[in-house]
Chain A
């Protein structure tokens, strides 16, 4: 069946023929899973429209999306790349701390809350991107801002405070 993925990564099957020059090139994202996971909500915050465009294009061209949606795909990659570049430029230290924590903790986001809060703060102050998880129940604290967690291996030290954009600004001002 066509759904079966061919394995292309074997030594002799590596096809290195580049794209023809008629198709515009784009630099690939070039990040592994942990940095991508760490930056995913910021990518989502900035690139939502491009992502939606791409997915809509794929839905509207079933079976031909690979060829028809190259332009949208390039936009998606360029946008995500810009997010990663901006984070690298202004929040490299926090970003590294967070994704390395994810790497060391089986990529479980809830094991790395303090590092995540520092990253969120830095990203919000420098890039104005905020982590928002959609569709959460309104009456409870969003799960990434909780100071007490059941499933984390280590409890969060009391001096680590979650970053909430409006609230901490007010606290710093007063």
Chain B
């Protein structure tokens, strides 16, 4: 038989009061603030990176014609030398491609005398 007045209450809950800032609300708010600050820094960094990339790209845009012009002159020089060599060897220039397009040579003729440079 149960005792008179019933049994004592069974303690099934832990007795751990949450105090101060370690309650769900402030913890959540703190986390959110941290995230916000992090995103602020990330966005700032990405924007700066974009601008730096733009700077680099424009620096190259300003240089490309110069480098391309130099390369083209070199290609023309080699092309003319190749044509001359071909003429001297076989007496004429043959059209390898059925087009007027300039095609960068895949193979290069080896000059008879090794360059001294």
Contacts and interface: CB of A to CB of B under 8 A. Distances in A.
A15 B63 contact: no
B103 interface: yes
Contacts, number: 158
Given A19-B76, A70-B72, A151 B63 contact: no
A77 B66 contact: yes
Contacts of B72: 65-66, 69-70, 73
Interface stretch (A4-12, A90-98, A120-128, A162-170): A4-12
Interface residues on A, range: 35 or more
A67 B103 CA distance: 12
B2 to A, nearest CB: 72
Interface in B19-56: 41, 44-45, 47-49, 51-52, 54-56
Contacts of B62: 40-41, 43-44, 47-48, 51
B108 interface: yes
Interface in B65-103: 65-66, 68-70, 72-73, 75-81, 84, 99-103
B104 A40 contact: no
A12 B115 contact: yes
Main SS of the interface on chain B?
helix
Nearest to A43: B62
B106 A4 contact: yes
Contacts of B44: 150
A65 B107 CA distance: 21
Interface in A101-151: 109-110, 133-137, 140, 142-144, 146, 149-151
Main SS of the interface on chain A?
loop
B32 to A, nearest CB: 23
B101 A63 contact: yes
Interface residues of B, number: 49
Contacts of B76: 19, 23, 66-67, 70
B59 interface: yes
Given A4-B106, A109-B59, A51 B65 contact: yes
Contacts of A5: 104
A16 B78 CA distance: 8
A141 to B, nearest CB: 9
A55 B63 CA distance: 12
Given A12-B110, A63-B100, A109-B59, A17 B77 contact: yes
